[in-house]
Amino acid sequence: MLLLCIETSCDETAVAVVRDGREILSNLIISQIDIHARFGGVVPELASRQHLQAIGPLVDAALVDAGLTLDDIEGLAVTRGPGLIGALLVGVSYAKALAFALKLPLVGVHHIEGHILAIMLEQPVATPFLALAVSGGHSHLFRVDGVGRYLLLGRTVDDAAGEAFDKVAKMLGLPYPGGPVIDRLAAQGHGAGIRFPRPMLNKPNLDFSFSGLKTSVLTYLETLPSQPDQQTIANIAAAFQEAAVDVLVQKTLRAAEEQNLERLVVAGGVACNSGLRRAFGAAELTSELKVYFPSPPLCSDNAAMLAVAADDYLCRGARSGRALNATSNWPLMDAAGLFTFVR
């Protein structure tokens, strides 16, 4: 099926055209980072307005880029949630209007389902597998038994991993989004002299917590006699990243062992992190686990990632009806239960 996919859950307007849930014909993104950066984070109202301006021209551009017209499109996929409600509504309304006007089938896809399955656009991963979804809103471990079949194993009890990177960056006076900046600075720093705690590692469950780690960075900064220089900031970035990565890797390895899973997919914006990629690379050498990372453009928000689940759902006859609405808070385990099926 030739699918047009639309993603507007946060601060990136994204449109893609994908064939059969695997072959990307176009995958375009308009980032709003410059607009939100001066506020130190995403301003929801501004995000919605930017999506409204961007969506129409971006759909046109994605079709041109794929060498197609709307007449060629056979189905539509849109991020239904979770995310910023006003931002989601732009994509959902646009997709519903297109579906109605063109009489095309439409499915609303879970944002994290998109992230977890994005790897399939680059290489097949056999199920079952373990998925670590780490983004600005999620730090979740799932067992994946197939499209629409997800079991939550563990989750953050407070901040998401990406949120912690962004907040710590803000404390250090670094620009938004902080994750990539901390990653870059960490490479120039030496975390050895500073040791931040590894929250929840001593707990037997598979949950994460990043709020205490964030507070430890703040407390450390308050103990410094003067404003930290560039090298000290890089050292703090390195020590923070080391602690966050350590917790993510150790809990994930524990989950793989408990669930007896041999494959791991790491997904979401934080999966771009070079420390995390290195640490899982090292773990792969000393365990039975095969670790899959999508390439960075497919880790961070994009619309092509929606096509993997959407193609599967649509081919099975699943449809989101006219009542499809944006859902800001939506557990992934409910993701596949909301469609009507047609023959």
Q: How far is CA 249 from the centre of its chain?
A: 17
Q: Could you tell which of ligand KG4, Zn ion, none binds residue 270, using a CB distance below 5 to 8 A set by kind?
A: ligand KG4
Q: Could you tell which of Zn ion, ligand KG4, none binds residue 98, using a CB distance below 5 to 8 A set by kind?
A: none
Q: Is 202 left (phi over 0), alpha (psi -120 to 50) or beta?
A: alpha
Q: What is the DSSP string of 243-262?
A: HHHHHHHHHHHHHHHHHT--
301 lines the binding site for Zn ion (CB under 5 A): yes
Judge whether 169 and 181 are in contact, CB under 8 Å: yes
Among the candidate windows 12-20, 122-130, 293-301, 307-315, which touches Zn ion by CB under 5 A? Answer: 293-301
Nearest distance from residue 22's CB to ligand KG4, in Å? Answer: 21
| Phi–psi pair at 172, nearest 5 degrees | -85, 5
12 lines the binding site for Zn ion (CB under 5 A): no
Q: Quick one: 82 exposed, middle or buried, by C-beta within 10 A (0-12, 13-18, 19+)?
A: buried
Where does this chain bind ligand KG4 (CB under 6 A)?
A: 10, 135-137, 162, 165-166, 177-180, 183, 268-270, 272-273, 300-301
Nearest distance from residue 302's CB to Zn ion, in Å? Answer: 9
Q: Which is nearer to ligand KG4, 108 or 178 (CB)?
A: 178
Nearest distance from residue 279's CB to Zn ion, in Å? Answer: 21
Q: Which of 27, 135, 216, 302 binds Zn ion (CB under 5 A)?
A: 135
Q: How far apart are CA 69 and CA 283, in angstroms?
A: 46
Nearest distance from residue 42's CB to ligand KG4, in Å? Answer: 9
Q: Quick one: 108 exposed, middle or buried, by C-beta within 10 A (0-12, 13-18, 19+)?
A: buried
Interface residues with Zn ion (CB under 5 A) are: 135, 301
